[in-house]
Amino acid sequence: MQLPALHIGELTARVPIVQGGMGIGVSLSGLAGAVAREGGVGVISAAQVGFNEPDFMTNTVEANKRALAKQLKKAREIAGDGIIGVNIMWRGQHYEDYARCAVENGANIIFSGAGLPSDLPDCVEGTSTKIAPIIGSPKAARVILHLWERHHHRTADMIVIEGPKAGGHLGYTREQVKMHESDGYEKEIEEILDVVKEFEEKFNKKIPVVFGGGIFDKKDIEHYLSLGLSGVQMATRFVATKECDASDAFKNMYVKAKEGDVTIVQSPVHMPGRALLNPFVKAFRQHRIPVTNCFHCLKTCDPATTPYCISMALIRAVRGDVDHGLVFSGANSWKIDKITTVHDLIQELTQDPVDETIPTDASDKTIPVEQVKKQA
């Protein structure tokens, strides 16, 4: 099956794959630019994006804004006219500053999860930047679309459903994650599509809905398209690419991971998260890891009581100190066995496998290519 293009208003991604934003520093211009160049939607994570700026520790917000502008410029150079988005966590401090910075520097779309981004429409008003909330339930879809209708007289340009197999912070309790793992999640998807349909009719506008969490191959993509979705969001598989902006040590954690290494952790964001089991996770499960420097990154974190500093944990991991940092991953990272390129991954996800059989004679029987080679 040829995968259909993903239309987001006047924007068209010829490949219906959104690369999920990955903080801190996992999806920057290298990955986002490459995905957009290959026809998908590339997404830069704005989470502490300035962590490599010299004044990051002392002048965090300015460092982040400066770095976000640089990353958008670089991604655009790589992507040409491909679609570049920015992912901004609603629970982060200075949300509006970063959203406005993304708009001013040419982001095509802003994706926002970890809470309901009620004021996002104000940040893009009068510009062509699209807005896409990331939600995990029919209720969340209804609440945000109602809020935007009532207060901003507009609706979403796209919706991302993040399912329970996603990596990073999850919009579910541990119990809900377990429940969805056993009961499946398709009924929720159907209900969310019904909610979105209501708003499509009200606003006389197509709102594409994409689903993310645990998607691994083309078969998975085709399955979700068959449910009425317009595309998928994938993150974990893009980590294991040369272009991914994380260190090799971070990527190799995915290659080495076994099924039992994928675990649910508590995060200072007050949401569970999915990550790989490592000495750091074992340590903070035993005792609190005191915060030495607070970046004031989260609206909800108290540095005096938090089990660990999430910014420091993610920065250490992305730089390669994978024993002392938090390595977020989706539920299927253990299936990854090699590092590839974005080009090859997109080919694998969009092309049907070559038919490995060739016809023999008029009886129209086929024999496997391997057998032909051996007979020759």
Ligand X SMILES: Cc1cc2nc3c(=O)[nH]c(=O)nc-3n(C[C@H](O)[C@H](O)[C@H](O)COP(=O)(O)O)c2cc1C
CB of 170 to ligand X, least distance (A): 9
- Give CA separation, 158 vs 125, 208, 226, in Å: 16, 5, 18
283: closest CA among 258, 308, 320, 312?
308
Tell me the window of 181-189, 280-288, 323-331, 356-364 that interacts with ligand X (CB under 6 A): 323-331
Among 33, 85, 213, 268, binds ligand X (CB under 6 A): 213
Give the nearer residue to ligand X in terms of CB position, either 207 or 232: 232
23: closest CA among 336, 263, 235?
235
Tell me the window of 78-86, 117-125, 151-159, 212-220 that interacts with ligand X (CB under 6 A): 212-220
Give the nearer residue to ligand X in terms of CB position, either 29 or 233: 233
Strand ordering across the sheet containing 262-266: 168-169, 272-276, 262-266
CB of 374 to ligand X, least distance (A): 39
Give the nearer residue to ligand X in terms of CB position, either 166 or 291: 166
Among 48, 60, 155, 329, binds ligand X (CB under 6 A): 329
Among 51, 185, 328, 334, binds ligand X (CB under 6 A): 328
Half-sphere exposure of 273 (CA within 13 A, CB side): 22
- Give CA separation, 181 vs 178, 185, 328, in Å: 5, 8, 19
Report the b/e string of 150-162 with b at 16+ CB within 10 A.
Answer: eebeebbbbbbbb
Residues 69-88 that bind ligand X (CB under 6 A): 87
Among 32, 215, 271, 345, binds ligand X (CB under 6 A): 215
Inter-residue contact 110 to 102 (CB < 8 Å): yes
Q: Does 214 bind ligand X (CB under 6 A)?
A: yes
340: closest CA among 254, 247, 238?
238
- Give CA separation, 272 vs 156, 176, 204, in Å: 26, 11, 37
Q: Does 229 bind ligand X (CB under 6 A)?
A: no
Give the nearer residue to ligand X in terms of CB position, either 86 or 195: 86
Angle at 109 between CA 105 and CA 113, to 5 degrees: 115
Residues 136-175 that bind ligand X (CB under 6 A): 162, 165-168
Among 15, 31, 109, 235, binds ligand X (CB under 6 A): 235
Q: Is 195 helix (H, G, I), strand (E, B) or coil?
A: helix
Q: Does 40 bind ligand X (CB under 6 A)?
A: no
Inter-residue contact 93 to 68 (CB < 8 Å): no
Q: Does 45 bind ligand X (CB under 6 A)?
A: yes
One symbol per residue from 4 to 23: x for binding ligand X (CB under 6 A), - otherwise; what is it? ----------------xxxx
Inter-residue contact 316 to 281 (CB < 8 Å): no
Among 60, 233, 306, 350, binds ligand X (CB under 6 A): 233
CB of 246 to ligand X, least distance (A): 8
CA–CA dist 196, 204 (Å, integer) = 12
CB of 167 to ligand X, least distance (A): 3
CB of 8 to ligand X, least distance (A): 17
Structure-token pair, residue 117 = 């981004």
For ligand X, the binding residues (CB under 6 A) are 20-23, 26, 45, 47, 87, 89, 113, 134, 162, 165-168, 212-215, 233-236, 328-330, 332
